[in-house]
Amino acid sequence: MNNRVIYLLLICAVMGFVLTGCAATGCCNSDTPNFNFEVQFSPTTFSAPGQIINVTYLVKDASTAMSVTITDDRTGAVCGPITLSPDSSQTCEHEYVVTAADMGAGGIVITATASGSASGYQDPTLKTVTVQAGLPPIDTGFPWWIPTSGCDSSSGQFYFVVETGYEWLVPEVNVTYTATDGTNSYSCVTEAPSGETYSTGRIRCAGLPTGAPGALEICLQRLGDPSPTCQTLAEFPDSLNGISCAPLGTPNWPLGPPACANELEIYFVIDTGYAWLTPDTDVTYTATDGAVNYTCVTSSSYPGRVACYGYKSAGVGILQFCLQRPLDPMPTCQTYPAFPAAVNGLVCFVPTLPPPPSPCYAITDHTTCIGTVGCKWDDPTNRCVPNP
């Protein structure tokens, strides 16, 4: 034992230290032992809170025999100490349970650290690996559609539900939505669970539409998405036309005077004043005077007006006209007591009778007319006619 080591031992003994290992021999290697460290997720995507992701830690390719301990900042896992030889590899596995916070963040990031120590080396080797899992990519080829719409009784707003088909789309996921039909904008949220009828991937939007709607464009963007994902639902106007969540109130619909539609039917026009009432509007009409049930239609040229027609019969009574939109709990009706007076006396059917025998006839030259009364030849009709 040389004087330098003896000197160090004397100093340590005086200070109360006991040296072991390479420090005791004074032959510590100033380098650090080397090895490789990998971390893997399986699966690499998740779609719901409570889902389990398997985390596998792998150490291999040691430069010398060593002892390795593994920790990470999320799972709380501690593996080791693991004995690792130069020609071996060792794995450690741990389960991570997806949380609601992970869904909101749109991803999971784990930073794991492996610390390897070997005999003859003064300092351990630290290896740090960061891995992540995320929500599934958005399938832009799946067509979104509207399974239901209606009136929200609590807010008085029109609502519709968009089905995206994305199972990962639940209320916990942090998503920004935009929805517009060109005229109206709607606020949207991810639909919350509702017993057995709950289906993931549904978006509920609501608003107070006014004016003529166009095709609906709805977009969603998650945290980390570089741009929104959008789809256009061209059938949206058809589902919206005629939808109004405000009650119609007491009607005051003027009735136009009845007239003849043709040689057999009468017609009349009721002006509701509703600009949204067009042929595209889904509305049910009833019109009856007690004796006749009339058929009613709307015109694109005159929004809000309803024309009704039918075969007149004797004994007409008070006219009652009703309309009902798809979301109305019951029809809205108005009666017209003066209707019989306007209809009675209106004759739309005039029988065509054969002409009576002519009192005039032509003689042989077809230009001289004779008969029981004064007659003359009529060039436009090429026949003999009475001469008044």
Domain count along the chain: 4
Is-cis flag, bond preceding 124, omega within 30? no
Task: Please check whether residues 128 and 200 belong to one and the same domain.
Answer: no
Give pLDDT, residue 365.
45
Residue 119 structural domain? 31-134
Backbone dihedral region for residue 232 (phi beyond 0: left; psi -120 to 50: alpha; all else: beta)? beta
230 and 274 belong to one structural domain:
no
Residues 38 and 125 in one domain: yes
Same domain, 163 and 189: yes
Q: Are residues 168 and 126 in the same domain?
A: no
End-of-domain residue from the set 178, 209, 240 = 240
pTM (two decimals): 0.55
What is the token pair recorded at 109? 């990031």
Over residues 126-139, mean pLDDT: 89
pLDDT tens-place string over residues 139-156? 888 899 988 887 776 777
Q: Mean pLDDT across the stretch 18-30?
A: 50
227 and 306 part of one domain: no
Contact 373, 322 (CB under 8 A): no
Please tell me whether residues 151 and 228 are part of one structural domain. yes
Within 8 A by CB and 6+ apart from 146, the residues are 160, 161, 162, 163, 233, 235, 236, 239
pLDDT of residue 142: 83
Q: Is residue 22 part of a domain?
A: no
> What tens digit of pLDDT does each residue of 261-270 get?
766 788 899 9
153-203: pLDDT as tens digits:
677 788 899 999 888 888 888 999 999 998 889 999 998 765 544 457 899
Cβ atoms of 166 and 138 within 8 Å: the answer is yes
